Amino acid sequence: MSAATPAPGDPIRAERDRFVAFAFAAADLLLEVDDSGKISFAAGALKSLTQRNASALMGRPFTELLADSDRALVKVLLTSLKDGGRLSPILVQLANPVALNVMLGGCRLPAPHECYQITLTVLSARMPMEHRAGERDAATGLLAKDDFAKLAEEKLRHNSGNYKLSLVEVDGMEAVRERADEELAEGFLAAVGRHLRAHSADGDAAGQIADGRFGVIHDGNFDASALYHQIAELASAAQIDDITVNAETVDLNAGALSETDAARTVLYAINSFSSAQRGEFTLASLADGFRHLVAETAAKVRDLRSRVATQDFNLVFQPIVALDTRAAHHYEALARFNEASTKAGGGTAGVIAFAEQLGVVAEFDLAVCERVIDLLEKLRHGATRPSIAVNISGRSLESEIFATQLDALLRDHPGITGDLLVEVTESAYIVRMPEVQRLVTSLQKRGVRVCLDDFGAGAASFHYLNALPVDFVKIDGRYVRHAFENRRDRAFLKAMAKLCRELGTATIAEMIETESQATRIADLGIAYGQGYLFGRPSADLLAPSVPAAAVTDNLNRTMTARQAARAAAPR
């Protein structure tokens, strides 16, 4: 151990020795830092932790010992301490080349000393700075919304009835960087994140739901008044005005729901609140709305599960025709719930969107697949053997459980796979693309053709087309509707058709309503069309308004042309 030693006979020597002994009972390094942030005393494992001796440290800025990423944070935390105040231990990293993770603690001595006493304690292992894997907000270090929502779901799944969720709104954070010195703003945001984590159940169960809006999962011991006080002091230390803090707590209580459904309900509620507009609520109304939303969502989950279990929905079919012959190529199966069950949820599309957000859409998609496969089995030996496309959410395709169940279903019905198509919907963003690629490839090996739905409607369309070896691309109807009124849409439609031809992928245009549209779309090289011109959705699979002949010929011609294009394409 080395230290800056007081002169012989110094009257405070005995007092300091006692203080040093007390500090070293739990720490590896003790520092005294003056109001300007410079080291005035150092003792402990100086060489191993700083690679300098005590005399070399005297008068140097304390933050030089810390990694760049932690300097602003610690500066604001120390500045926020009042006389006699104590800093709760936080995890920080020492500067290179040591780069050890250490626990930093400290206090501010009252007058006349007016300095900071700081301890650094080496952790037993070179543990990562963050306890839990997941995407994090760069400014606060908190879990990003999606990973925090998953954590809330995980906690609820293993909940013994104790976990609660506190919603915290720090008003004024959006303009922090505009109102404060850059270093102080950086330190303030990081310090807010550390304090929120410190109030959570395991020290890392806090997340940023939206700008200035946070969630903290805890065991009921959340101290809102302490958090208000801490953030107020941090704002003062960072010279930031007009920061206000509000918090409300809700139970993560499964109630009448299973733990799985309750967890998904909380996930849905968090996602809903993340998109709520400011000014539409106070935090009290937000929390109250959260409680009502959880209750309302629970009821919708039960209703949806019941409908899926009993297959309480209808299917209607809309033809997709070859534009050159107008013969039906295949039919798209569209699910329809009754009006009473969908009135409050935006119709069938609203129910499906709800199922996607809640994470239960795979069960519904599988139920639709079962209905369509049963129908194809009944029709396979008939005079007319149609092909039917089923819409499947990207969320479902990501699910290993869904993939396993669909595989089992297709194994039990090998005779219909050539008549089945899958339309990959883009309403939910695909995150686990490798899983989806494997499933698409597996489906195609069985003879199931795959279509990318609503191409051009979302930002990920071209990414999906590049990643997935689909057989068809269905071009979003808005380009068709305005293609001959809007030069840009027409150019985009033409470019999409050309790209798909070069990839050997057939194209389908949606929302064709007039003969003029059909002719012009065909002139652009698009092979297939769908819309009211060829038939509205009908419970009658082979609607008389649409020619049903030559289905097989059209399928064979399409497959042959596509295979030839792919074989000729440069590799």
The CATH number linked to 88 is 3.30.450.20
CATH of the domain at 183: 3.30.70
Residue numbers of the domain that contains 539: 311-568
Report how far residue 526's alpha carbon sits from residue 512's, in angstroms, rounded to the nearest whole number: 12
- The predicted structure's pLDDT at residue 25: 57
Residue finishing a domain among 122, 156, 190: 122
pLDDT at 476: 85
Say yes or no: 374 and 275 in one domain: no
Query: What number of other Cβ atoms are within 10 A of residue 463's Cβ?
Result: 13
Task: Residue 505: name the closest of 459, 441, 562 by CA.
Answer: 562
- 479 confidence band (pLDDT: 50, 70, 90): confident
Q: How many CA atoms lie within 13 A of 159 on its CB side?
A: 30
Q: Which of 130, 136, 144, 153 is nearest to 217 (CA)?
A: 153
Q: What is the pLDDT of residue 61?
A: 92
Question: Which DSSP string do the residues of 6-26 spell out, in sequence order?
Answer: PPTT-TTHHHHHHHHHHHHTT
Separation between Cα atoms, residue 179 and residue 99, nearest integer Å: 32
Q: Which of 182-186, 208-212, 312-316, 535-539 has the highest mean pLDDT?
A: 535-539
If you compute the radius of gyration of the chain from its CA atoms, what whole number of angstroms results? 32
What is the value of pTM for the model shown?
0.54
pLDDT digits (tens, 9 = 90+) for 486-525: 788 788 888 888 989 999 999 999 999 999 889 989 988 8
Domain count, the chain: 3
227 and 81 inside one domain: no
Residues 400 and 258 in one domain: no
pLDDT category of residue 226 using cuts at 50, 70 and 90: confident
Instruction: Decide: residue 179, CB within 10 A, 0-12 exposed, 13-18 middle, 19+ buried.
Output: middle
Q: List pLDDT tens digits, range 267-326.
A: 666 776 677 666 655 556 656 666 666 667 677 777 777 777 777 788 999 999 999 999
Q: What is the mean pLDDT of residues 199-228?
A: 85
Mean predicted lDDT score pLDDT of the chain: 79
Do 82 and 153 have their domain in common?
no
Listed residues 302, 324, 359: the one ending a domain: 302
Position 133 scores a pLDDT of: 73
- Is 55 found in the same domain as 169? no
The reply to whether 407 falls in a domain is yes
Output the 3-class SS for 32-89: EECCCCEEEEEEECHHHHHCCCHHHHCCCEHHHHECHHHHHHHHHHHHCCCCCCEEEE
Asked if 247 contacts 225 with a C-beta cutoff of 8 angstroms, the reply is no
Residue 129 falls inside a structural domain: no
Q: Are residues 445 and 467 in the same domain?
A: yes
Whole-number Å distance between alpha carbons of 284 and 360? 29
The more confidently predicted of residues 554 and 114 is 114
Local structure of 303: helix, strand or coil: helix
Residue 133 lies in a domain: no
Contacts of 54 (CB under 8 A, 6+ apart): 2, 3, 4, 42, 43, 46
Question: Do 157 and 237 belong to one domain?
Answer: yes
Q: Which amino acid is at 391?
A: N
Segment 70-79, tens digit of pLDDT: 888 888 888 8
**Residues 558 and 480 reside in one and the same domain:** yes
> In terms of DSSP H, where are the helices of 412-486?
433-445, 461-467, 477-482
Query: In this structure, is residue 137 part of a structural domain?
Result: no
Residue 73 tokens read as 């944070």
Task: Give pLDDT, residue 129.
Answer: 45
Q: Are residues 155 and 284 in the same domain?
A: yes
- Which pLDDT value is given to residue 561? 45
Q: Tell whether 130 is covered by a domain.
A: no
Q: 5: which DSSP letter?
A: P
Report how far residue 383's alpha carbon sits from residue 217's, in angstroms, rounded to the nearest whole number: 61
Say if 382 falls within a structural domain: yes
Structure tokens belonging to residue 123: 């952790």
Whether residue 421 lies inside any domain: the answer is yes
Cα(65)–Cα(96) distance, integer angstroms: 9
**265, 280, 302: which is the final residue of a domain?**
302
Query: Strand, coil or helix: what is 424?
Result: strand
Find the largest Cα–Cα distance for the chain: 111
Whether the pLDDT of residue 26 is over 80: the answer is no
Q: Are 170 and 243 contacting, i.e. CB atoms less than 8 angstroms apart?
A: yes
Q: Are residues 388 and 532 in the same domain?
A: yes
Beta bridge partners of 168: 214, 247
Residue 375 lies in a domain: yes
Question: In this structure, what token pair is assigned to residue 483?
Answer: 């293609």
Ramachandran assignment for 504, one of left (phi > 0), alpha (psi -120 to 50 degrees), beta (any other): left
Whether residues 372 and 467 fall in one domain: yes
Claim to verify: residue 404 and residue 536 sit in the same structural domain: yes
Report d(CA 227, CA 247) in Å as an integer.
9
Cα–Cα dist 383/479, whole Å: 37
The one-letter amino acid code at 175 reads A
Inter-CA distances, 8 with 11, 12, 19, 22, 53, Å: 9, 10, 18, 21, 21
pLDDT value of position 27: 77
CATH number of 411's domain = 3.20.20.450
Confidence of residue 146 (pLDDT cuts 50, 70, 90): confident
